Structure 1
Amino acid sequence: MRADSGRVRRSSMVSFPVASGGIFNGALTGRENLAFLCRVFGFDPIPIIRFVVDFTEIGKNIDKPFNSLNRDERTKLQFTSCYAIPFETYIVDESVIGGRGSFRARCEELVLERMQSAGFLILSSSPAVIRKYCSDVFVINRFKILEMASVDEAASLLGADRLRDGSGELDQVGELEESQTLE
């Protein structure tokens, strides 16, 4: 869709959407997918793959085709792959962290660490997510971007019927339909 007017200027390295299943080719291994992403964004794949293997504790399964991994392994790979690449701006659509148990806790720590050195653009209809992770709040309403003084002001403008309260966590990214994963 082309804009009617205005322009968008980007002066930083912007991530693909966090935990986006669509960026992985199901026939390629986790390692091959990561190497491809690193090449696209101009990063050395070796330290990034090493980080992902260590962080996810996925072990030798990194060398299995993405579609053959279990849901938990796919979830870990999808979240960690984005945060492993040192983007200057991360794009997050609702789910800031994912996984279960100790991985979820480590993922939360990783996100908070990345927030110290990078920007985050979080698209959410959840006041809880916005309160937890955002310092600035903007609302897109009637094709305009409006800066809000608080989450409460945004909720008041939009109305409770347009908001949903989630935690920004996703247990099973792998539950996305396989058709959403590139083949």
Structure 2
Amino acid sequence: MIQLQNLTKSYFLNNHRTTVADNINAVFPTGVSVALLGRNGAGKSSLLRMISGEMLPTSGEILSDGTISWPVGFAGSFHRELTGEQNCRFVARIYDVDTDEMVEFVEDFAELDAHFYMPIRTYSSGMKARLAFGVSMAVPFDTYLVDEVSAVGDASFKAKSNRVFNERMNKAGAIVVSHSMKMLRQTCQAGAVLENGQMTYYDELEDAIEVHLSNMDQPTR
């Protein structure tokens, strides 16, 4: 369970205050995959960053009785001078995962061959994305945070990525941000709509999609 209590987040942009979360109170149930919907700029990514702990709210708090991932596929925390293998071992120690098992899984998954043992600074953006997605899937979180993740590589690699992700979803929940209604319908059971700093949770995904599409036809306040 992830509980948002009086959660507020405001920014100052060009001397103007923008509020993307306005005293939100909501609960994301354990083991449920939830589509987080909202127009561009509504604050979906900011909300995921706050839930992951990467960003602090202006006020309020986030409570959880389970483990929460960083945004799946996020490569920004890799150490550039360490190799892919060394970064895997570092993450494994932080999250108390067997280091050899993580290295074996990620090496097989990412298909980086000799580059797996080379510094991250030598990687292309696609190689870093493959490594990051593999590391994300190697840690058994209770809730995965997914922000517009898309597998890189050929059709075979994309199919493998989808298969591994779906396997994780059989044992965990997720909060998923995506503009692909097809992907959300394949992944999620429930939905939450973020609009003008307010968030409404829906037990049925189709109810959330209907409200979101209706909002998209209306101008923002």
TM above 0.5: yes
Q: 1:153 is matched by which residue type in structure 2?
A: V
Alignment partner of 1:145 out of 199, 208, 216: 199
Q: Deviations over 1:127-183 (max 9, x none)?
A: 333223221110111222102424122211343889xxxxxxxxxxxxxxxxxxxxx
TM-score between the two structures when normalised by the length of structure 2 = 0.65
Quick one: structure 1 residues 144 and 110, their matched pair in 2 at CA, closer, same or farther if it must change by over 3 Å?
same
1:123 match: 177
User: Structure 1 or 2: larger strand share?
Assistant: 2
Q: What does residue range 69-88 of structure 1 map to in structure 2 within 5 Å?
A: 69-88=123-142
Alignment partner of 1:50 out of 104, 112, 123: 104
2:57 match: 2
**CA distance in structure 2 between the aligned counterparts of 1:120 and 1:12, rounded to whole angstroms:** 12
2:215 match: 157
Deviation, 1:12, is 1.3
For the Cα contact (< 8 Å) 1:18–1:96, is it kept in 2? no
Higher Rg: 2
1:28 match: 82
Quick one: structure 1 residues 65 and 161, their matched pair in 2 at CA, closer, same or farther if it must change by over 3 Å?
farther
Q: What does residue range 86-105 of structure 1 map to in structure 2 within 5 Å?
A: 86-105=140-159
Q: 1:65 is matched by which residue type in structure 2?
A: P
Mind listing any 5+ residue stretches in structure 2 that lack a counterpart? 1-55
**CA distance in structure 2 between the aligned counterparts of 1:19 and 1:38, rounded to whole angstroms:** 16
For the Cα contact (< 8 Å) 2:93–2:99, is it kept in 1? yes
**CA distance in structure 2 between the aligned counterparts of 1:138 and 1:14, rounded to whole angstroms:** 18
The runs of at least 4 aligned residues of structure 1 exceeding 6 Å deviation read: none
| Residues paired across the two proteins, number | 161
Mind listing any 5+ residue stretches in structure 1 that lack a counterpart? 163-183
Q: 2:57 is matched by which residue type in structure 1?
A: R
Deviation, 1:46, is 1.0
**CA distance in structure 1 between the aligned counterparts of 2:152 and 2:66, rounded to whole angstroms:** 25
Moved more, 82-91 or 143-152: 143-152
1:64 match: 118
TM-score between the two structures when normalised by the length of structure 1 = 0.78
Q: 2:120 is matched by which residue type in structure 1?
A: F
**CA distance in structure 1 between the aligned counterparts of 2:98 and 2:217, rounded to whole angstroms:** 46
Deviation, 1:70, is 3.3
1:18 match: 72
Cα RMSD (Å): 2.1
